[in-house]
A and B are shown apart, each in its own frame.
Chain A
């Protein structure tokens, strides 16, 4: 765990975020401070509505914090060139958004947006375990798992150093989920990509992560090394959460 935000790939300092929904003030993040070391995988777990996705969206500036600071590579996200920041910090959503056209069109989009051309889109497809034969298929005809892998390949095509994964396997059937998870771990092995991985699947968190961040009610309750968290959580809430007593979920 990195304490100093300067050397961290990703760091949060006293981050506060609220939303107004129909004039009702809803606090989401109530002062979050933590950091992810370069190359680490952090599993961000916690009950639904605890602010996990909000924390992710702060990292690539899809939303802005009300107070506190978010750092990427030691630089405040507000001081980054936005396009550079978003290419460096890739975000994969729970449900893949597929644009009209072929798989090729979808993957090339990542580069086309920057006015680049693309030499080997099949390389990125192979990185997520899809055959190059799929390049000229209609993307909308793919299975859910294939679509999610295309979305992942599209994000990888921007060559991100940090990956934000927002429940990327939760909409998939167990075997497709396992496939996507495997390929993400391959990518980590190859590129040492730093990852902040939101998941509801505690087994997955145990398999993939170095650290666990437990978020409840907009606060980081526990930041613990993964094996230690699952054998002896450091907080009473952590213990209750593992027992599935906080949102009815079980391992």
Chain B
């Protein structure tokens, strides 16, 4: 596909803008920004990937994965404004998730330790961990707000912060995993996952493409859980001060 044929698809963007103007939805500006951003980001990434694949140097691979984790952290941290050192906790949770998942995938030789496998699959794992982290942070704060009285009652009985909040940490973890689990349940029936679709369009055997997709789906289940549990248990102590008092960030609501 040439850049010229690609540019024809901008007609879709044009249709979206016209519809938005016609119905006064007011999203034209966002559509333009999204189009420009996605074009620049993806085209740039395409060239970067080409270079990294060509160099086949582990250092660049690690650098690229580190960059992904950094961007994912920054994005998820928006859901945890007001929680002390939340970026650090997210960074740790996502990094540990990626390390465990890749050690397993590469260690058992499920995927070859090559850039064209490692980087896209890392991207998917990190992206999913990012979404799960955002959901977890959002839900944990909401749970703590709505169950404030229960938490304070346990504290007043001489319970520790952990005892007072663990049921609600678990609730938040559970909630953060629902999208990952639900999308795995309906995969193939409702939507054909992006990686598989891409492989098939690029000419790969659908049977093989499906197998890789299953690898990713199964990895998601564990990695989402690792990210959520790690972040949940790293974050809850920040909701208390040293006198075992519940201190909720004001930014919520």
Contacts and interface: CB of A to CB of B under 8 A. Distances in A.
A38 B246 CA distance: 30
22 contacts: A61-B243, A61-B245, A62-B155, A62-B156, A63-B245, A82-B158, A84-B158, A86-B156, A87-B157, A90-B157, A93-B149, A93-B153, A97-B149, A97-B150, A109-B157, A110-B157, A110-B158, A113-B154, A113-B158, A113-B163, A114-B158, A154-B157
Contacts of A63: 245
B244 interface: yes
B179 interface: no
Interface residues of B, number: 15
Interface in A95-143: 95, 97, 99, 109-110, 113-114
Interface residues of A, number: 25
Nearest to A157: B157
A224 interface: no
B150 A155 contact: no
Contacts of B244: 61, 82
Contacts of B153: 93, 97
A91 B243 CA distance: 16
Interface in B166-190: none
A25 to B, nearest CB: 14
B52 interface: no
B158 A158 contact: yes
Interface of B: 149-150, 152-160, 163, 243-245
B156 A60 contact: yes
A24 to B, nearest CB: 12
Contacts of B149: 93, 95, 97
A84 B244 CA distance: 12
B155 A86 contact: yes
Nearest to B157: A110
Nearest to B164: A113
A95 B157 CA distance: 15
Contact of B156 (A91, A95, A99, A114): A91
A80 B224 CA distance: 41
Nearest to A96: B153
A83 interface: yes
B152 to A, nearest CB: 7
Contacts of B243: 61, 64, 78, 82
Contacts of B160: 83, 113
A87 B158 contact: yes
Q: Which of A85, A113, A155 has the most CB of B within 10 A?
A: A113
Interface string A44-69: 00000000000000001111100000
Contact of A158 (B152, B155, B157): B157
Given A86-B156, A113-B157, 16 more contacts: A61-B244, A62-B156, A63-B245, A78-B243, A82-B243, A83-B159, A85-B158, A86-B155, A87-B157, A90-B156, A93-B149, A93-B156, A109-B154, A110-B157, A110-B158, A113-B158
Contacts of B245: 61-64
Contacts of A95: 149
Contacts of A114: 158
Contacts of A90: 156-157
A83 B150 contact: no
